[in-house]
Amino acid sequence: MIPLAEPQLGGNEARYLAECIRTGMVSSVGPYVERFEREFAAAVGVRHAVACASGTAALHVALRLAGARAGRTVAVSTFTFIASANAVHYTGATPLLVDSEPRTWNLDAELLHDEVVRRARLGRPLPDVVEVVHALGHPADVAPLLELRDRFGVRLVEDAAEALGAAYTGGPMDGRQVGTLGDLGCFSFNGNKTITTGGGGMIVTDEADLARRARHLTTQAKLPGSGYTHDTVGYNYRLTNLAAAVGVAQLEQLPRFLAAKRALAARYEQMLRAVPVVPAPREPWASPSHWLYSILLPGPEPDRDGVIGALRAAGIGVRPLWLPVHRQAPYAAAARLGGSVAEQLHRRGLSLPSSTGLSTADQGRTVSALAAALRDPAAALPTTRLRT
C-alpha cells in the first residue's frame, strides 16, 4: 500500500529520546521544550513560540487569548478539519462558518471583509475574531483580514496546522510565513503533519505579553512561587520533553521535508497534465508547502467514491477532502456566510499520496491508476467498497 502521508523519523529522534530517558527529563519541564520553542520561532520567523499538547489545544488557547468567549463570535473557515471549529466551541464563542473561494480553496476573505463592512455600516454586531485556516499547505489571502483588524479591531488567529513552511511571495508580505501575520498563529505536530512529535502543537506570536499568557494558560494558570495558587481556569496543555525531543530532531529536517513536498507537487503537476483533473491551487503570490497534494475531479458531480475505491483497490492511499463543518452534526445549525464552494471541494476533491519519502515510481503508479479510474471507475471496483 502506498500511504497517504507517512512520517520520516530517521534523524536524531532516537538519540534525543534516549537522552531524555537517561536523564529522567521526560515531563513538560525540560531542555528540549525550551529548545524546540526557540528553534521553532526562529524557523517560522516570529519572536515567541509556546509548545502545546496538540494543535487543537494551541487553537483553544490562542482563540481565548484573542478574546473568544461566550457571547462573542468567531468567523472560521467551513472547509477545514473539524478541530478548527471545535476550538471555537471550547471557548464558548459562537462560530460563523465562512465558505471558501475557488482560487485557494481557503476562507473567502473578500466576502467576509465586505460582510463586516456592511454590518458596521448598519450598526450591527461584528465578529470579534477571525480564525483563518491555511488548508492543505496553501496560504490563505489574509490581506482583507488584516484590514479588518486595522479598521474594526477584529483579531486574527491563523490555523496553520497544515501549512508549516508555506509563505507569501512578492508585495509587502514577501517572505513572510503563514502563522506570523495574525495576532497569534497555531501549528500541529500530529503524526501526519509536515513535522511530527507524535502529537503536539505550537502557538506563535510577536507579542511578549500574549506569549506569557499562553504559557500561563497551558500550565494550569499556576502563579509563580511555591504555593499552588491559580488566578484563572487554565489547562494541562504543555508538551512533554519527550515529544519536544522528537520535535527538535524533526525541525532539523524541515528544510529537506519542505523541498521534498515541493518537488513532489511539481512532479504531480507535470504528470497530471494529461489527466482531466484540476491540479492543487498555486497562486502567484504564494509559496505553498503542499502538505497533502490534492486535486479536483472533473465535472460538478463526479463519481468521487468510485475513483477513491478504485485507487484503494490498486493499493494507493487517497482520501476525500473534508465534509465542510456546516455539514457536520454538531454545527448543522451554525450561522453561515457564503455559498457552496466548500461543498463542491468535498464532492470533487481528493488528496493523493504525499509522504516526503514517496518515490517517483510510486507517484507514477498513482497517476496511472487515477487516469485509469477516471476512464472507468466501476471496472476497478470489484473487491473494495468505500466506507465513509
Residues forming the site for ligand PLP (CB under 6 A): 54-56, 80-81, 83-84, 133, 159, 161-162, 188, 190, 201
Beta strand 201-205 with 184-188: parallel, antiparallel or unpaired? antiparallel
Beta strand 286-287 with 167-168: parallel, antiparallel or unpaired? antiparallel
Cα 26 from Cα 352, distance rounded (Å) = 36
Picking from 297, 58, 372, the residue whose alpha carbon sits closest to that of residue 185 is 58
- CB 128 → ligand PLP: shortest distance, Å? 20
Q: Which is nearer to ligand PLP, 294 or 314 (CB)?
A: 294
Dihedral sign (CA 224, 227, 228, 229) = negative
- CB 378 → ligand PLP: shortest distance, Å? 32
In contact, 292 and 162? CB cutoff 8 Å: yes
- CB 80 → ligand PLP: shortest distance, Å? 5
The strand ranges marked E within the chain are 48-52, 73-77, 94-98, 129-133, 155-159, 167-168, 184-188, 201-205, 286-287, 294-296, 319-320, 335-337, 349-351
Q: Which is nearer to ligand PLP, 351 or 381 (CB)?
A: 351
- CB 58 → ligand PLP: shortest distance, Å? 8
Q: Which is nearer to ligand PLP, 83 or 178 (CB)?
A: 83
Q: Write the single-letter amino acid at 212.
A: R
Q: Which is nearer to ligand PLP, 341 or 373 (CB)?
A: 341
- CB 303 → ligand PLP: shortest distance, Å? 26
Q: Which is nearer to ligand PLP, 80 or 380 (CB)?
A: 80
- CB 190 → ligand PLP: shortest distance, Å? 4
- CB 381 → ligand PLP: shortest distance, Å? 29
In contact, 243 and 193? CB cutoff 8 Å: no
Q: Which is nearer to ligand PLP, 73 or 351 (CB)?
A: 351
- CB 55 → ligand PLP: shortest distance, Å? 2
Q: Which is nearer to ligand PLP, 56 or 287 (CB)?
A: 56
Q: Which is nearer to ligand PLP, 126 or 323 (CB)?
A: 323
β-partners of residue 69 are none
Q: Which is nearer to ligand PLP, 68 or 370 (CB)?
A: 68
- CB 140 → ligand PLP: shortest distance, Å? 11
Sole residue written with cell 511578549: 208
- CB 64 → ligand PLP: shortest distance, Å? 16
Q: Which is nearer to ligand PLP, 140 or 277 (CB)?
A: 140
Cα 250 from Cα 246, distance rounded (Å) = 6
The DSSP-derived string for 247-268 is HHHHHHTHHHHHHHHHHHHHHH
Measuring CA to CA, how many Å separate 29 from each of 198, 244, 270, 315? 18, 10, 47, 43
Cα 191 from Cα 212, distance rounded (Å) = 28
Sole residue written with cell 487553537: 59
Q: Write the single-letter amino acid at 194.
A: T
Cα 11 from Cα 96, distance rounded (Å) = 42
